[in-house]
């Protein structure tokens, strides 16, 4: 795969639609929305007119891991970021 085809694949979503194309009326569900990639992902959707439902357990998922549990305030912060971009947001814990 050459650089051009890699860039083209990055600009195309899994349906073959060009990334960045407005999709008003669509809804996306994001798991792990309180932080990390789960927070970064939903803030990309409002500019496309996509509504976001953010889901996070806000709890320790696997106790033996050293990962710190996410919190409800972190999930609320993700919602504030989505709404600040004129997006519609619904959180579920």
Asked, for residue 1, whether it belongs to a domain, the answer is: no
Whole-number pLDDT of residue 61: 83
Residue 61: give the domain boundaries: 28-92
Asked, for residue 3, whether it belongs to a domain, the answer is: no
pTM > 0.75: yes or no: no
The burial of 33, by beta-carbon neighbours within 10 Å (0-12 exposed, 13-18 middle, 19 or more buried), is given as buried
Asked, for residue 88, whether it belongs to a domain, the answer is: yes
Buried/exposed code over 51-82 (b: 16+ C-beta within 10 A; e: otherwise)? bbbbbbebeeeeeeeeeeebeeebbeebbebb
The number of domains in the chain is: 1
Q: What is the average pLDDT across 36-55?
A: 89
Asked, for residue 7, whether it belongs to a domain, the answer is: no
Q: Is the pLDDT of residue 88 over 60?
A: yes
Asked, for residue 65, whether it belongs to a domain, the answer is: yes
Summarize pLDDT for 1-28 with one digit per residue, the tens.
Answer: 444 443 444 455 555 555 567 788 889 9
Summarize pLDDT for 52-80 with one digit per residue, the tens.
Answer: 999 999 988 888 988 889 999 999 999 99
Asked, for residue 84, whether it belongs to a domain, the answer is: yes
């Amino acid at each position: 795969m050459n650089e051009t085809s890699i860039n083209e694949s990055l600009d195309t979503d899994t349906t073959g639609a060009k990334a960045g194309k407005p999709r008003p009326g669509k809804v996306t569900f994001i798991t792990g929305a309180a932080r990390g990639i789960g927070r970064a992902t939903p803030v990309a959707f409002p500019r496309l007119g996509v509504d976001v439902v953010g889901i996070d357990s806000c709890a320790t998922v696997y106790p033996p891991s050293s990962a710190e549990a996410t919190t409800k305030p972190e999930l609320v912060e993700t919602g504030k970021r989505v709404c600040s971009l004129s997006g519609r947001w619904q959180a579920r814990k």
